[in-house]
Structure 1
Amino acid sequence: MSQAADAVAAWLAELAEQRRLSPHTISNYRRDLDKLLSAAGEMPLAELHGQQIRRFIGQMHAQGLGGRSLARTLSAWRGFFAWLGRHGAVPANPCEGVRSPKSPKLLPKALSVDEVNRLLEPFADDDPLLAARDTAMFELFYSSGLRLAELAALDRDALDSILHEGEVRVLGKRSKARIVPVGRMAQRALAAWAEVRDQLAGADEVALFVGQRGRRISHRVIEDRLAKRAVQLGLPRHVHPHMLRHSFASHVLQSSGDLRAVQEMLGHASIASTQVYTHLDFQHLARTYDAAHPRAKRKP
C-alpha cells in the first residue's frame, strides 16, 4: 500500500471512530479519495496545487459527473487535505478556492397524498409476516420522515415509546439524536408488526425490523421491497425510502406552514436544507390555483 493510500485509510478510520460517521458516508469518502489518488498518479500529494485540482475536477465533469457529485467529491478532498495539513504532511490545502461546476437545482421528488394513501393501503403479500413488516416500515417512514439508516437502526425497545407515547427517538447524521412524533396509522401498523415479529426474528435479535433470516434488515432489502410494492400498485414512478421522507416534509408543510417544525422533525442542522420544501409547497399552490381559478389560464 502506498503512503498516500495509508494516509487515506488513517483519515477514514479517524472519521469513523471519532466523528462516528456512518459506514455509508465513509464508503462515499473512500470512493471520492480513490478518484484523487487515481488522478494524482505517481505525483506526491504534497506537490499538488490548485490548478491541478481544477484540472482533475474538469476531467471528471467532462466524463459526465454532475455538479452535485463533484461538489461532494471536492468536499471530501478538501477535508482530507486539511487533515494532512494538521499533520504536517502537506504545505497547503490545494482545494481551497476551487469550486465545482454548478448544476441545476433539482427539487426533491414527492408523492401526492393520494399516491401515498395507495402505497400504504393494506397489501396482500405471499407472506403475511413480510406484509405486516413492510406496512409498519413504510407507515413509519411517511409518518415521521425518517431516513433509511435511521429506520433500519431502530431496536425493538423503541416500540414502547412508539405505541404508548406516540414518538420515536432516532440517531441522525453525526449521531445527533432527535425525537419525532409517530402518527396513529403508523402506531397501528407497528402494533400489528409487534404481535408477529418474534415469528420472524432470531431469538437474540434486538432489531425492530428483521429480514427473512431473522437478523436486522438491510438497507437494500427495504429499498427493494418498497420499489416492488410501488410497481405492483401501478404507481407511475420509482419509489424509494427518501421519497417518503420528502413526501412527509412537503405534506406537513402544506398543511401547517411551519418550516421550523419541519426542520426539527427532519433533523436538518440548517433551515436552508428545509427551505427547498417551500418550493414544493408553491408548486402545490400553483396547481390548485390553475385548477380552481376561473382566470388561471397561465403559460406553463
Structure 2
Amino acid sequence: MQPQAPDAPLPDPMAAWLRHLESNRRYSPHTLDGYRRELRFLIELAERAKLPLDKLGNGHIRQFVARLHAQGRGPRSLARTLAAWRGFYQWWAPTIGLAGNPVAGVRAPKAPRGLPKALSVEQTQALLDRAPAKVATEPAALRDQAMFELLYSSGLRLSELVGLDLRYTRSAEHESRGWLSLEEAEVIVLGKGGKRRSVPVGQAALAALRRWIDVREQLAPPAASADDAAALFLGARGRRISPRVVQLQLARIAQAAGLPTHVHPHVLRHSFASHVLQSAQDLRAVQEMLGHANISTTQIYTRLDFQHLARAYDQAHPRAGRKS
C-alpha cells in the first residue's frame, strides 16, 4: 500500500498538529516528514474503510495495523506508524470532544532485538584514515572529513549532525537548534523529544573541524537564507547539507576503505558507544552522551562489549578450545 501522493494537502487538523510540533516542540524537518508520510497512510486506510478520522475506533486501528503488517511492514516500521497516529489523536481528540485516543493500547508486533552494527576500532580507524581530506584540500573533502570525525567522536545522530550551526545564532529568521563550540570543545544538540544535551568533541575531530571552517566560506553563497548561512556543514550549492548527501559520501568512503559491511551514519554512532563503553565501562556516561531517555536502550551496547571480550578470550586463553 502506498500513502497519498506526497504533494496532496493534509486535512486541516493534521496540518495544524505538524505545525504545533514544528513551532512548539521543535521537531526536526526529518521527523516531521516521517510523520507526514505516516499520516497519509492513515488517511488512505480511513478512506478505504469509508470512515472519517473522528469516527475511527480502536478496532479499526488494529485492523489497519494488521493490514499493513500483512503487506510487509515490519515491527519497527509499524511502531513508527503508530507513534505518529497516537501522537496526532492525543493532540486532536480533546479539541473535538472524542472520548479517547483510538490508537491507545495498540502495539506493533514485537521484533527480535538484534545487536546494533558497530565497527571495530581498527575498521573505524581505516575508515577515517580513508576519508578524503587525507589526500585532498578541496572544501567538500575537508567537510566530509570533519563530518565523519565528528559523528564518531561525539556519537551524534544524523539529524543532529546536519542540524548543527557554526555557532549559536538567534534572530527573527532563525534560532539555532544545535551548534558547535570550539572554545569549549563540545557540540550542543537538540535530540529526540526536544531534549538538549552537550557532548564533548575529541582532538582529532576538533582539528578536522577547524580545517573545514577555514574553507567553509568557499561553499557559502552570498545570498543564503538565514538557516543556510548559519549551518555548520554546507552542500555543493551552499545550502545546509542534506542527510542523503552525508549517507552517500560515507558509504562511498567506506567502500573505498574495503570495509565488509554497509556503513551508514548510525553505524558510527554505534561504534562510538561500543568503543567508549569498552574503554570506560561507564554505562551512565554513555547514556548521557547518546541522549537516551532510558538506560535500557543503552544497555544493548553491553552485549556488544561482551562479544568483544568473548573474542579476546577465544584468541588468548589457553583453554578456550581454539585449534591452532
Determine the C-alpha separation between the residues in 2 that align with 1:283 and 1:142: 20
- The equivalent of 1:53 in structure 2 is 61
Structure 2 match to 1:172: 191
Q: Aligned equivalents of 2:257 and 2:221: distance in 1?
A: 31
Alignment correspondent of 2:172:
none
* SS of residue in 1 equivalent to 2:187: strand
Q: Distance in 2 between matches of 1:147 and 1:52?
A: 35
CA deviation after TM superposition for structure 1 residue 89, in Å: 4.6
Could you tell me which residue of structure 1 aligns to residue 29 of structure 2?
Answer: 23
Q: Any residues of structure 2 matched to 1:209-220 within 5 Å, and which? A: 209-220=233-244
2:109 aligns with 101
CA offset at residue 69 of structure 1?
1.2
Assess if the C-alpha contact under 8 Å between 1:141 and 1:151 holds in 2. yes
SS at match of 2:232: coil
* Unaligned stretches of 5+ residues in structure 1: none
Counterpart in the other structure of 1:263: 287
Matches of 1:64 and 1:202 in 2, distance apart?
44
Partner of 1:222: 246
Match for residue 155 of structure 2?
145
Instruction: Provide the TM-score with structure 1 as the length reference.
Output: 0.90
CA deviations over 1:129-160 (Å, ceiling 9, x no partner): 22211111111111111111222222223798
Please give the alpha-carbon distance, in whole angstroms, between the structure 2 residues aligned to 1:8 and 1:123: 43
CA 1:284–1:160 in 2, change beyond 3 Å: closer, same or farther? Answer: closer
Kept in 1: contact 2:22–2:32 (CA 8 A): yes
- Please give the per-residue CA displacement for 1:257-280, whole angstroms capped at 9, x wherever unaligned: 101101111112221221111111
In 2: Cα distance, 1:153 partner to 1:80 partner: 25
| Structure 1 ranges of 4+ moved more than 6 A | none
Taking only aligned residues, the RMSD between alpha carbons, in angstroms, comes to: 2.3
Q: Return closer, same or farther for 1:193/1:271 CA change in 2, 3 Å cut-off.
A: same
Aligned residue in 2 for 1:161: 181
Q: Alignment partner for residue 131 of structure 1, among 126, 131, 141?
A: 141
Bigger fraction of residues in helix: 1
Per-residue deviation, residues 148-201 of structure 1 (Å, max 9, x unmatched): 122222222379832x33222222223322211111111121222222222232
Distance in 2 of aligned mates of 1:61 and 1:160? 42
Cα 1:72–1:131 shift into 2, 3 Å:
same
**Helix, strand or coil at the partner of 2:198:** strand
- Partners of 2:247 and 2:265 within 8 A in 1: yes
**Which of 180, 205, 210 is the aligned partner of 1:186?**
205
Aligned residues of 1:200 and 1:212 also touching (Cα < 8 A) = yes
What amino acid does structure 2 have at the position aligned with 1:135? Q
- Alignment check: 8 A CA contact 1:109 1:246 kept: yes
Q: Do 1:46 and 1:89's aligned partners in 2 also have CA atoms closer than 8 Å? A: no
**TM-score, with structure 2 as normaliser:** 0.84
Structure-1 separation of matches of 2:163 and 2:107 = 35
How many residues matched? 296
- Deviation, 1:71, is 1.6
* 1:76 matches 2:84: yes
Instruction: Measure, in 2, the Cα distance between the counterparts of 1:251 and 1:126.
Output: 28
Gapped runs of 5+ residues in structure 2? 1-7, 169-178
What's the % identity of the aligned pairs?
A: 57
CA contact (8 A) 1:45 1:90 kept: no
Mean alpha-carbon deviation: is it higher for 276-285 or for 149-158?
A: 149-158
Q: Distance in 2 between matches of 1:295 and 1:251?
A: 27
User: In structure 2, what is the Cα distance between the partners aligned to 1:59 and 1:104?
Assistant: 20
After TM superposition, give the deviation of residue 251 of structure 1 in Å: 0.4
